[in-house]
Amino acid sequence: MRNLKSFAIAAIACGLVAGSLSAQTATGSVQWQGVNGAWSCYNGGSINGCFYTSPYLAKFMIPSLPTNQQYLPPAGQSGFGATQDIFCVDFIHEANTGEYAANFTNLGQDAADVGVTTRSHGTQAQTLQMYLESAWLAQKILAEPNLGTADALDMNGAIWQIMSGFPVYRNSDNTQVAYWVGQAQGNWNGTTENGVSASRWVVVTDQLAMGNNERGSQEYLTQVVTPEPATLLLLGTGLVVMLLGTGALRRLTA
């Protein structure tokens, strides 16, 4: 009974640790770093022109990084972190090529905030699915050996079509954008290999645009920190030490 009680205390303690790691939308700054994609021409809605496609490049600063920073993009605290790939999910607004305040909303950990701290595209569920479909396409773009391939350019157009709500066409290929929209809608919620892991993607939203599709600059998707093996080992070791301290593992280690 004593060991059972000790184990219960340890379990509660572990639960508190896990609770402290639950994510919450972070705030910080974005610093534009340029483009990493290719040049292509599109039309959609009232927009017709040639643009650089994603990925673009940016640095992030989050002054108060929470303990769950593994659910955030690589960022600095006192200064900006390393340059990261970002994917434009906004065909309507212009890019802010300076520095500005932003929200960082993890699609898995902060799902309830999607549409509030990000732009809104209908209901919360509809908005979340649109971002996940776009993240699926961003994964596919990253897998392209050349960011200027027809597929990469069409997948960029598909992201814009999903998020803008109107058909987008690449001027030299007006059918494949719709094909990739269908692929994203049919595969985003698949297996780990074929689908998208929501917790690996973060929406970067100009704070002027949160919850509003009319204000602010372009919005982006970016990838999160991949936990270092040493970090995972340290966390596991800490939990074992906690269990030993309560006596829960004494019988197993005797």
pLDDT band at 132 (very low <50, low <70, confident <90, very high): very high
Q: What's the whole-number average pLDDT of the chain?
A: 84
Query: Taking residues 188-210, what's their average pLDDT?
Result: 93
What's the rounded Cα separation, in Å, for the pair 102 and 66?
A: 16
Query: In this predicted model, what pLDDT tens digit does every residue of 35-56 receive, in sequence order?
Result: 999 999 999 999 999 999 999 9
Residue 252 lies in a domain: no
pLDDT digits (tens, 9 = 90+) for 63-101: 999 888 999 999 999 999 999 999 999 999 999 999 999
- Is residue 108 one of the residues assigned to a domain? yes
Residue 47 in any domain: the answer is: yes
Task: Say what the pLDDT of residue 227 is.
Answer: 54
The boundaries of the domain holding residue 215 are 24-234
**Has this prediction a pTM greater than 0.85?**
no
In total, the chain counts a number of residues equal to: 254
Considering its fold, how many domains does the chain have in total? Answer: 1
Classify residue 247: in a domain, yes or no.
no
Long-range interactions of 115-118: CB distance < 8 A, separation 24+: 115/211, 116/210, 116/211, 117/25, 117/203, 117/205, 117/210, 117/211, 118/203, 118/205, 118/210, 118/211, 118/219
